[in-house]
């Protein structure tokens, strides 16, 4: 995963353009993608697909021709969606177009102007402070023209057509944690799920933030009805503990599963309530769609000083953190896939488990007593209304123990899904 982040990191991504396409071509080497191109001007819900932005070069050069701000050194140096400019101007005239972070003088901020024609540069405050008065050459070699918005999907077929949606944004330039770590975790999660033959069908969406998710929703009104659960992945590689932001509903099955998995794992974590701000969970949870989609991050949106700055670099993310995020996704989706409601086929009194060899099958197990209790709990709650997650929560037993007990009882013909 870390190697994938390294490959994607130098590319200049935005809500449209060749940087997004180049990123998706890399992802396509790992998992096959179905890429969609949506033309400029297309109406998508209450929005319109904007013009496509591409950039080849940009710089601010001093009187000696030395580039004091250089897009070639980092894609963060240009205000996203800057219109083209070629001019010479004094520093006083240039200053309003220069963006810095005075509180972190060595960092370069990430700034954009998607829907208002502007141009600008981002640089370290210490670089700006060192600029002498004088004339500067300013050049942004960009185009803003009719084109397309690009997003992609990857589907892992399941046993049923009901879907789990996994979404991550592809619109940020050189920011390793937000958003590349989320893309990397999603890619490797898809590869692992493909080896499992999962119960649900898993749909992975790689799209620019906000406008991309809105475009996907607009183009998939009928498919949305199949989405039973969903997860937005972002900020997946920083050193902080995990944070799960619940869906707007707050009681969706994905909310219960993540609460259970994070609590049972004893990992440092936080569960937060839904707010209509953040990543694309707010689009999927909008009142018209009201999907059960939560958001999994490590340190959440805007919650770390390095957020949307050059300090969100390859040193800020770690293989260990991404592996931990992937493990939680794997555990959560394992619970989703196995959570069933059962009906007790011998509901009058406790069935004789020993006669069916169910007790004998536990011989020698260190958790034999727990496994036995799990069978009794499953039988007790196998009323067609309680799922295995209900059993785990009520009994205090692990989900794996409860699911194994259900498998044994099902095999003995005592319960049916």
Same domain, 69 and 136: yes
Provide the pLDDT for residue 365. 53
Same domain, 136 and 213: no
Work out how many domains the chain is built from and give that number: 3
Same domain, 233 and 262: yes
Same domain, 81 and 162: no
Provide the pLDDT for residue 361. 55
Q: Among the three residues 89, 121, 144, which one is the final residue of a domain in this structure?
A: 144
- Using one digit for the tens of pLDDT, what is the confidence trace for 171-224? 999 999 999 999 999 999 999 999 999 999 999 999 999 999 999 999 999 999
- 358/301 Cα distance (integer angstroms): 49
Q: Among the three residues 338, 356, 380, which one is the final residue of a domain in this structure?
A: 338
Provide the pLDDT for residue 360. 60
Chain-centre distance for alpha carbon 159:
24
- 346/352 Cα distance (integer angstroms): 10
Provide the pLDDT for residue 356. 87
Distances (CA, A) of 380 to 158, 198, 353, 403, 412: 30, 27, 14, 14, 16
Contact 156, 201 (CB under 8 A): yes
Same domain, 334 and 359: no
Same domain, 104 and 236: no
Provide the pLDDT for residue 366. 56
Provide the pLDDT for residue 127. 98
* Token digits of residue 237: 């590689």
- 122/111 Cα distance (integer angstroms): 7
Same domain, 272 and 223: yes
Same domain, 315 and 240: yes
Angle between helices 388-395 and 368-381 (to 10 degrees): 120
Provide the pLDDT for residue 151. 98
Which residues in the chain land under pLDDT 50? 362
Query: Which structural domain range is residue 378 located in?
Result: 341-416
Same domain, 244 and 320: yes
Same domain, 60 and 185: no
Provide the pLDDT for residue 368. 72
Same domain, 131 and 205: no
């Amino acid at each position: 995963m870390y190697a994938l982040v390294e490959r994607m990191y130098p590319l200049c991504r935005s809500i449209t353009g060749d940087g997004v396409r180049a990123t998706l071509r890399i992802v396509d080497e790992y998992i096959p993608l179905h890429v969609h191109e949506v033309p400029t001007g297309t109406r998508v819900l209450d929005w319109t697909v904007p013009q496509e932005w591409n950039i080849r070069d940009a710089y601010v050069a001093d009187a000696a021709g030395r580039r004091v701000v250089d897009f070639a050194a980092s894609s963060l140096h240009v205000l996203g969606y800057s219109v083209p400019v070629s001019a010479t101007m004094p520093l006083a005239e240039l200053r309003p177009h220069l963006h810095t972070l005075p509180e972190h003088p060595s960092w370069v901020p990430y700034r954009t102007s998607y829907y208002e024609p502007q141009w600008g540069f981002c640089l370290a405050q210490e670089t700006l402070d060192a600029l002498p008065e004088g004339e500067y050459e300013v050049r942004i070699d960009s185009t803003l023209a009719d084109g397309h918005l690009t997003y992609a999907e990857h589907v892992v077929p399941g046993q049923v057509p009901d879907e789990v949606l996994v979404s991550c944004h592809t619109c940020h330039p050189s920011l390793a944690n937000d958003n590349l770590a989320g893309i990397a975790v999603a890619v490797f999660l898809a590869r692992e799920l493909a080896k499992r033959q999962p119960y649900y069908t898993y749909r992975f969406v790689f799209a620019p933030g906000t406008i991309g998710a809105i475009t996907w929703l607009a183009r998939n009104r009928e498919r949305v009805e199949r989405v039973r659960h969903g997860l937005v992945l972002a900020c997946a590689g920083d050193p902080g503990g995990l944070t799960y932001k619940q869906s707007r509903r707050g009681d969706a099955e994905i909310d219960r599963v993540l609460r259970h998995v994070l609590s049972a794992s004893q990992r440092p974590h936080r569960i937060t309530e839904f707010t209509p701000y953040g990543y694309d969970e707010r689009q999927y949870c909008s009142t018209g769609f009201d999907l059960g989609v939560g958001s999994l991050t490590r340190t959440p949106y805007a919650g770390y000083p390095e957020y949307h700055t050059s300090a969100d670099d390859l040193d800020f993310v770690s293989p260990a953190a991404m592996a931990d995020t992937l493990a939680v996704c794997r555990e959560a989706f394992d619970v989703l896939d196995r959570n069933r409601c059962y009906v007790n086929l011998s509901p009058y009194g406790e069935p004789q488990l020993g006669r069916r060899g169910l007790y004998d099958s536990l011989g020698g197990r260190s958790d034999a007593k727990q496994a036995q209790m799990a069978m009794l709990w499953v039988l007790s709650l196998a009323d067609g209304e309680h799922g295995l997650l209900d059993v785990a929560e009520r009994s205090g037993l692990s989900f794996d123990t409860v699911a194994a007990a259900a498998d044994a009882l099902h095999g003995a013909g005592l319960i049916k899904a």
